[in-house]
């Protein structure tokens, strides 16, 4: 093997890894929004989680990628640790699919009629067709989902080209006595496991490492006895990227990563112990036989299935071991709003950001509603609670803003990009609503401290206004949470009603001043309350307008939306009159 063979091997490895990475990224972009739903909602028992983990990993071609996502879900509290166990076990089995896909490259070399027929199953036979379809979809399709399918097909073609390069590069080692002597060292099972672990830890993918081993089998110098412990090590080494991804995560996030490690370590221990124990009595004849690409796929799949069958019934024990490894400290609590590991799968990260933004909306709405109630009946504990809500909303805005800016730099679908734009605009309005809640708390404190007593008519007017503000908050919040444009369309006529109420209450206060029924002191407090309520309604209008613009027009031009609403008399006027009657002073 000369320097040119080494360069060819490096080139093949690079293409193989690049193809796998491109294919996985495209699959996650096209199916990512569904992955989170599957993984978080359809894992009511470990067996369902096992099946889902298997399917998802078979799709994205990497158990490490699936497990890293699971760590992110657990860390962000979208999935419990118990739910994660089944998915992680399934992910380990699902990754065996890749070894069968790459193993097909070893079919059909016997020259027999059967071999010739099987030769058509080799990826190299239909890879050019896939590459052609892929480039046509990528270049001529306008829809993101078709472009992603094209990238998947091209990624697979590049992966298989890399596989062929690696096979060609090492083919000259078949008659190399030096290479045979190096492989002889791995007759010691522990050295074989160690070498496989190191290789997979460097490559950071068990699927890619198994592909490398399959390419080496073309030399004919690797036996089943040599390959089996190496395959065990390849799966253990694949845990390295998952363990690295758990650095800085919550305790449950770290535990999920360790569950993945323990599955492979325990599985390798059980498999090798059972295999060599039986071999000591039975003396398997195939141990010294040469292994091919299909043989590697068979051993890899059997190992995964045996490990799953042995460990799945004891999944709770696996979780317990992880909890013993990462122990809880007394009084220790850690919560992560958003997990940056999910940024590698933008569609899932967007969904998580939506969940957090909706929690923020509920918190902001509740803060404002409670502050309105505080105007009638001041309570210091309640005032402190509202202030704590406002502090939490600020944290939400800061976390979401930072997260979404980072996410916006990633490659994603147009729909996800629009969703990010919508959330970024809305969280600003939600934060301002919580600020107005604190402003109203100050007004309530002033009323209590100065013992301001509004007239019966003024109290009634504030009660009517509070009812309108409570309703507009509910409508805007529900429109955002459910992405419902019909609900959102109710906000603008109610916002106009709030404006009318504010002006009418001010006018009524001036009339009462002229009759000496109210004082200037009442006027200052009342003016602050009216100003805050009007601005809250304006922010609700912004939220509703943003929902409608993004959902209907895939754009954000709230001012244009407001002009269209106000210029279209019909339905808007009818709803406005209805609200005027409902909130009549």
pLDDT digits (tens, 9 = 90+) for 295-331: 888 888 888 888 888 888 887 888 889 888 887 654 4
Task: Determine whether 380 is exposed, middle or buried from the number of CB atoms within 10 Å of its CB (0-12, 13-18, 19+).
Answer: exposed
Residues 252 and 395 in one domain: no
Domain match, 294 and 373 both:
no
For residue 376, is pLDDT > 60? Answer: yes
Q: Same domain, yes or no, for 56 and 193? A: yes
HSE at residue 389, side-chain half, CA atoms within 13 A, is: 28
- How many residues does the structure list for the chain? 585
Mark whether 236 and 356 lie in a shared domain: no
| pLDDT at residue 341, rounded to an integer | 73
Whether residue 184 sits in one domain with residue 92: yes
Residues 371 and 454 in one domain: yes
Ranges 7-16, 369-378, 421-430: which has the least confidence: 7-16
List the CATH number of the domain containing 566.
Answer: 1.20.58.220
pLDDT in tens, 220-233: 777 888 888 888 88
Residues 365 and 245 in one domain: no
Tell me what pLDDT residue 197 has. Answer: 84
Q: Is residue 100 part of a domain?
A: yes
CB atoms within 10 A of CB 555: 11
> Are 362 and 301 contained in the same domain?
no
In whole angstroms, give the CA distance from residue 481 to residue 357: 9
Given CA atoms 51, 54, 55, 57 in this order, what sign does their dihedral have? positive
Q: Which residues are paired to 223 by β-bridges?
A: 290
- Which of the pair, 175 or 3, is modelled with greater confidence? 3
| Chain position carrying tokens 């994660």 | 84
226 falls within a domain: yes
Give the pLDDT confidence score for residue 260 in this predicted structure: 86
pLDDT value at position 109? 45
Rounded to whole angstroms, the Cα distance separating 322 from 257 reads 9
Tokens of 235: 């799966």
CB 235 within 8 A of CB 92: yes
Query: Do 50 and 103 fall into the same domain?
Result: yes
Domain extent for 120: 3-325
Domain identity same for 179 and 296: yes
Non-local (6+) Cβ contacts of 54 within 8 A are 90, 91, 93, 94
Tens of pLDDT, residue by residue over 46-62, are 777 888 778 877 766 66
Distance separating alpha carbons of residues 86 and 312, to the nearest angstrom: 8
Average per-residue pLDDT for the chain: 79
Phi/psi at 223 (5° precision): -100, 170
> What are the tokens at 351?
């969904």
Number of domains in the chain: 2
26-32: average pLDDT: 59
Nearest to 372 by CA among 504, 257, 463: 463
Question: Do residues 214 and 114 both lie within one domain?
Answer: yes
What is d(CA 265, CA 254) in angstroms, rounded to the nearest whole number? 17
pLDDT value at residue 481: 92
Phi, psi of 349 (to 5 degrees): -60, -40
Which residue carries 């509703």 as its tokens? 544
Residue 266 Cα distances to 262, 306, 308, angstroms: 6, 11, 10
Residue pLDDT, tens place only, 100-153? 765 555 544 443 444 455 455 455 666 788 889 989 988 888 777 788 888 878
**Could you write out the three-class secondary structure of 566-583?**
HHCHHHHHHHHHHHHHHC
| Residue found under tokens 């002889």 | 184
Q: CA 145 to CA 157: how far, in whole Å? A: 19
Q: Which band of pLDDT confidence, cut at 50, 70 and 90, is reported for residue 465?
A: very high
Nearest to 532 by CA among 361, 359, 367: 367
Q: Are residue 518 and residue 569 in the same domain, yes or no?
A: yes
Separation between Cα atoms, residue 268 and residue 310, nearest integer Å: 11
Distance from C-alpha of 368 to C-alpha of 441, rounded to nearest angstrom: 9
Q: What pLDDT is attached to residue 112?
A: 43
Average confidence (pLDDT) over 360-385: 92
Residues 498 and 500: their CA atoms lie apart, in Å, by 5
- The pLDDT score that the predictor gives to residue 283 is 83
């Amino acid at each position: 093997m000369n320097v040119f063979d080494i360069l060819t091997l490096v080139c093949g490895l690079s293409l193989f890894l690049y193809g796998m990475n491109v294919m996985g990224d495209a699959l996650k972009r096209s199916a990512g929004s569904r992955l989170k739903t599957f993984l978080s909602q359809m894992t009511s028992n470990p067996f369902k989680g096992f099946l889902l983990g298997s399917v998802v990993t078979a799709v994205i071609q990497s158990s490490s990628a699936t497990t890293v996502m699971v760590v992110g879900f657990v860390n962000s509290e979208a999935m419990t640790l118990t739910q994660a166990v089944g998915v992680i076990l399934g992910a380990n089995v699902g990754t065996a699919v890749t070894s069968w896909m790459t193993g097909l490259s070893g079919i059909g070399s016997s020259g027999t009629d059967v071999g010739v027929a099987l030769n058509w199953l080799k990826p190299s036979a239909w890879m050019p067709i896939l590459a052609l379809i892929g480039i046509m979809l990528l270049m001529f399709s306008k829809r993101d989902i078709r472009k992603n399918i094209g990238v998947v097909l091209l990624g697979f073609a590049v992966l298989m080209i890399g596989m062929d390069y690696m096979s060609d590069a090492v083919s000259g080692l078949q008659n190399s006595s030096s290479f045979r002597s190096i492989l002889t060292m791995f007759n010691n099972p522990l050295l074989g496991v160690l070498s496989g672990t190191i290789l997979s830890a460097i490559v950071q993918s068990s699927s890619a490492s198994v592909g490398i081993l399959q390419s080496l089998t073309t030399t004919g110098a690797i036996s089943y006895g040599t390959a089996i412990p190496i395959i065990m090590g390849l799966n253990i080494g694949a845990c390295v990227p998952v363990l690295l991804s758990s650095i800085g995560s919550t305790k449950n996030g770290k535990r999920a990563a360790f569950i993945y490690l323990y599955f492979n370590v325990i599985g390798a221990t059980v498999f090798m112990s059972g295999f060599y124990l039986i071999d000591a009595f039975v003396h398997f004849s195939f141990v010294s036989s040469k292994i091919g690409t299909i043989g590697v796929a068979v051993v890899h799949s059997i190992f995964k299935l045996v490990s799953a069958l042995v460990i799945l019934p004891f999944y709770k024990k696996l979780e317990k071991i992880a909890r013993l490894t990462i122990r809880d400290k007394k009084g220790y609590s850690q919560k992560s709003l958003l997990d940056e590991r999910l940024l590698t799968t933008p569609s899932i990260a967007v969904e998580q950001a939506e969940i957090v933004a909706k929690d923020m909306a509920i918190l902001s709405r509740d803060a404002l509603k409670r502050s309105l109630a505080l105007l009638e009946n001041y309570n210091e504990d309640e005032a402190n609670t509202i202030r704590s809500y406002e502090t939490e909303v600020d944290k939400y805005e800061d976390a979401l803003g930072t997260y979404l800016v980072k996410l916006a730099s990633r490659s994603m679908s147009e729909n996800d990009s629009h969703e990010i734009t919508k959330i970024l605009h809305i969280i600003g309005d939600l934060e301002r609503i919580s600020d107005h809640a604190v402003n109203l708390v100050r007004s309530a404190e002033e009323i209590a401290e100065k013992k301001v007593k509004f007239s019966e008519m003024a109290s009634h007017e504030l009660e009517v206004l509070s009812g309108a503000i409570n309703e507009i908050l509910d409508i805007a919040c529900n429109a955002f949470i459910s992405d419902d444009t019909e609900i959102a369309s109710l906000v603008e006529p109610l916002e106009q009603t709030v404006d009318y109420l504010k002006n009418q209450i001010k006018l009524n206060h001036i009339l009462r001043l002229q009759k000496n029924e109210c004082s200037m002191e009442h006027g200052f407090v009342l003016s602050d309350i009216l100003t805050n309520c009007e601005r809250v309604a304006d922010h609700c209008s912004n939220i509703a307008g943003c929902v409608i613009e993004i959902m209907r027009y895939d754009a954000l031009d709230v001012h244009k939306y407001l002009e269209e609403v106000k210029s279209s008399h019909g339905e808007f006027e009818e709803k406005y009159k209805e609200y005027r009657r409902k909130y009549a002073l």
